[in-house]
Amino acid sequence: MPRPAINPAHSFSGHLRHLEKTRAKMEQLLDQGIIVRRDIEQVYEGLYLEAFTSLERFIEDLFLGLLVGRLQASSLSIVPRISCSCDRVAREVVFGGDNYVDWLPYERRTERRAEAFFRNGLPFKSLQKADKQQLDRFYCIRNAIAHQSTYSRQKFESDVIGSIALTPRDRTPAGYLRSKFRTAPDQTRYENITNEMGDIAVKLCT
């Protein structure tokens, strides 16, 4: 029996909460002097890469689940354009013979793929422009951490940091993620980003 399409979003949010517990524990260790700033920055980078990878896994699970009917769409306007009997077959068709596919950048990967496999590309073409811009920033941060190339760091500087006033050390991907997004209550930019990831996941499922 199909499961509600919102289930993958709930699972994804649960995983983000698990990562958040790890982040909070490591901040406590830093406060206690058990680890140093270089350690905590490596933790932030690792947690972010895991959150980003989990976001792509969520999109893939939702895409394939809706395509094969394993997940129950939230709207009658969500209609697959092909019929697949199981995840294995759907994966072979969607992946085009590759072992994996990228789901971000969102418009170039997920939306174009959705246009081919779902009527009107729904629900994947339902995101607002602001949400897609956020996903682009998430992707930019991921590249700056994973590739560490001159180009990826320049993109990070221009597309993510922009005019935000930060100290030189906070202008790195790790420093940016750990910097304050707001106070009262305190929230790091990492926390804000993962909250936004969870919100976007829910929007795709409702």
Triad 30, 36, 40: Cα angle to 5°? 70
pLDDT, residue 1, reads 82
Residue 206 has pLDDT above 90, yes or no: no
pLDDT, residue 74, reads 83
Instruction: Judge contact between 73 and 5, C-beta under 8 A.
Output: yes
Q: How many domains does the chain have?
A: 1
Q: With helix as H, strand as E and coil as C, how does 130-173 read?
A: HHHHHHHHHHHHHHHHHCCCHHHHHHHHHHHHCCCCCCHHHHCH
Read off the pLDDT of each residue in 117-129 and give the average, rounded to a whole number: 97
Mean pLDDT computed over every residue of the chain? 96
Indicate the pTM of the whole model: 0.95
pLDDT, residue 24, reads 98
- pLDDT band at 31, cuts 50/70/90? very high
Q: How many CB atoms are closer than 10 A to CB 6? A: 17
Read off the pLDDT of each residue in 176-186 and give the average, rounded to a whole number: 95
Instruction: Judge contact between 78 and 31, C-beta under 8 A.
Output: no
Residue 80 has pLDDT above 90, yes or no: yes
Range of the domain at 100: 3-205
